[in-house]
Structure 1
Amino acid sequence: MIRLYTEKDFEKMRKAAEILCQTHLALREVIRPGMTTKSLDDFAHKFIVDHKKAVPAQLGYSGFPYTLCISVNDEICHGFPSDYVLKEGDIVSIDNVIDLDGGLADSCWSYKVGELADRDQKLMDVTLEALNRGVKAAVVGNRIGDIGHAIQEYCEVENDFSVIRDFIGHGIGKEMHEDPQVPHYGKAHRGPRIQTGMVFTIEPMIASGNWPMELEDNGWVAKTRDGSNVCQFEHQLIIHEDGPEVITDQSKYSLTEEDKDFIKSYKF
């Protein structure tokens, strides 16, 4: 069942999205070579819980033990924060979900650590543009399949990359994962019709090599089977009659003075 939401619901989601985006902006300020991914998770947890008084919705979800999913290089998604030390040339995808008074917001963003190899920089550029093309297809009257078709055509036909098949976008509202399912590949003009009041994510995971994946023994961390690098960008959309509202657009938000003070005083 695809739920349709109201302006009252949207207001809660927008407030959660502001904290989510401020968390990403704070992470952008601190990420650098020499840090562990666990130290980033610890920082985000304190920023969200102690500073912003919000709930990191991924923590404990189906047993997931961290605030953030942090996936590095060939990790597709659901990466465990660890003692891995970030180094120059890494691609780091950080997935963050905020619950604020029952309003949910979900966005993954990828960061480069220092300078990237040319192929990896292109991978990041193509993935972000793929997300933007998916958003443009998310209009009333189109079908969910039009989103995946736009992404796949751009990544696999126009560029020499692969769309991950095993993980897709999803509805979000009362729960973190709802219908509709939003694949990032497939045929146009297929799937549910996009309607006013829908809320869902578009979150392409794009590999520089082939798309087949494997799971680590923990049952969470997914990696490319061929060891190729992956990039992911994700937005949460509210569908209106006149077009999609991207509530996780970081350019809409900024760090407050209190946020900046928190970052300055935090001891890694």
Structure 2
Amino acid sequence: MGFRDRGIEIKTPEQIATMRRAGLLVGQTLELLRKEVRVGISTKELDAIAEDNIRSAGAVPSFKGYGEPPFPGTICASVNDEVVHGVPGSRVLADGDIISIDCGAITLDDSGQGWHGDAAITVAVGEVPAEVAELMRVTEESLWRGLAAARLGGKVADISQAVESYVRGEGPYGIVEHFTGHGIGSEMHQPPDVPNLGGNRLLSPKLVQGMALAVEPMITLGSKDTVVYDDDWTVATSDGSWAAHFEHSFTLTQRGAWVLTALDGGEERLTALGVPFGGS
């Protein structure tokens, strides 16, 4: 493996293939959890389902034991005004809630090196208000607009600008600034950051083959500002407004974007946006 441009990890095709296996498992786990979300289930129960599914496939949860203090769950389960990093526990989901579920998994290559997949979805519990459903739609669509803007030879800032431009065009939403997407590979979080706000394109890292990035818009119905709970993990909006979070990990091939955590590699959504699909 080689490294270039401010410590960015460049993967071989074989390493990307291992990341695809991790990404597929993450995508499958999130679809399993989407079906399990219902009134009366606890976030701890969802966490147990995710851990069992990942370990049963011979993989390891990326999140469990991560950081300081060590994260206690396999998933991040963030409900309503919680933006990201919600700790699974006794909270029971109620009709009209939304839950953002972030999930990561590690698979091993032939040398025993682990490679990560990381993705997130936001799911409605029963019926939610129209403005909340629209928040979810805007957040997910902004993710795909960011992915569709990625080109070999382009810049990370192109992704950021596409996310921001779409969200700004849809209404007065808050775009969380202090938490961003990131590089991903042999570690879950690597350079470069992938902000959800456009920045200085000149200083932005170049998009090259072998990079893998996680893009993850976090959008609110109110303020962009956040607070962290006493558990030192859960991030919530400062004004109590509800938030949505969607994420995919992807890479770029000579043909285009390949979304490693999407079950179809992103082919349907990228094609609908008029950009080439880079997967196999």
Counterpart AA for 2:60: V
How far has the Cα of 1:233 moved from its partner? Answer: 0.6
1:125-144 alignment runs, 5 A limit:
125-144=137-156
Q: In structure 1, which of residues 73, 76, 80 is the aligned counterpart of residue 87 of structure 2?
A: 80
1:99 paired residue number: 106
TM-score by length of structure 1 reads 0.90
Q: Which residue of structure 1 aligns with residue 252 of structure 2?
A: 239
Query: Which amino acid in 2 is paired with 1:197?
Result: G
**Partner of residue 148 from structure 1, selected from 149, 160, 164:** 160
User: Is this contact kept in 2: 1:15–1:103, CA < 8 A?
Assistant: no
1:202-251 CA distances to partner (integer Å, 9 max, x unpaired)? 00000111100011111111100000011011010112222111011134
Q: 1:149, 1:188 within 8 Å by CA — same for their partners in 2?
A: no
User: Is residue 90 from structure 1 mapped to residue 103 from structure 2 by the alignment?
Assistant: no
Match of 1:264 in 2: none
CA distances 1:123-167 after superposition (whole Å, capped 9, x unpaired): 001001100110011111221111111111211243221110011
1:187 equivalenced with 2:199 (yes/no): yes
Contact between 2:24 and 2:262, CA under 8 Å: does it hold in 1? no
Distance 1:235 1:41 in 2: 19
What root-mean-square deviation, in Å, do the aligned CA atoms of Structure 1 and Structure 2 show? 1.4
The one of 8, 16, 21 aligned to 1:10: 16
Looking at structure 2, the residues matched to 4 and 52 of structure 1 have their Cα atoms a distance apart, in angstroms, of 26
Q: CA deviation at 1:19?
A: 1.4
Q: Which amino acid aligns with 1:6?
A: T
For the 8 Å contact 1:146–1:188, the answer to whether it is kept is no
Q: Residue 25 of structure 1 contacts residue 250 of structure 1 at CA under 8 Å; is this kept in 2? A: no
1:56 aligns with 2:68: no
Provide the secondary structure at the position in 1 that maps to 2:148.
Answer: helix
Paired residues of 2:161 and 2:198 also in contact (CA < 8 A): yes
Q: Does structure 1 conserve the Cα–Cα contact (< 8 Å) formed by 2:138 and 2:170?
A: no
Deviation string, structure 1 residues 67-101 (Cα, Å, up to 9, x no partner): 11100111010001111110111111111110011
Q: What amino acid is the match of 1:56?
A: P
Aligned-partner Cα distance in 2 for 1:105–1:20 = 6
Structure 1 gap ranges (5+): 254-268
Give % identity: 38
Query: Distance between the aligned counterparts of 1:244 and 1:180, measured in 2?
Result: 18
* Rounded Cα–Cα distance in structure 1 between residues aligned with 2:208 and 2:47: 36
Within a 5 Å distance, the mapping from 1:21-60 to structure 2 comes to 21-49=27-55, 51-60=56-65
Whether the aligned pair in 2 keeps the contact of 1:138 and 1:144 (CA below 8 Å) is yes
Match of 1:176 in 2: 188
How far apart are the structure 1 equivalents of 2:226 and 2:31? Answer: 30
Contact 1:142–1:189 (CA<8 Å) still a contact in 2? no
- Counterparts of 1:201 and 1:219 in 2: how far apart (Å)? 23
Q: Give the distance between the partners of 2:263 and 2:39, measured in 1 at CA.
A: 23
**Contact 2:16-2:210 within 8 A present in 1 as well:** no
Report SS of the residue matched to 1:131: helix
CA deviation digits over 1:93-115, x for unaligned, max 9?
11111001112111011111111
Q: Could you tell me which amino acid in structure 2 is paired with residue 207 of structure 1?
A: T
- What amino acid is the match of 1:68? I
CA–CA distance in structure 2, aligned partners of residues 178 and 187 of structure 1? 19
Map of 1:223 onto structure 2:
236
Stretch of structure 1 that moved more, 152-161 or 40-49: 152-161
Q: Does the residue aligned with 1:61 lie in a helix, a strand or coil?
A: coil
Aligned residues: 252
User: Which letter does structure 2 place at the counterpart of 1:77?
Assistant: V
Tell me the distance in 2 between the aligned counterparts of 1:129 and 1:29.
21
TM-score, structure 2 normalization: 0.87
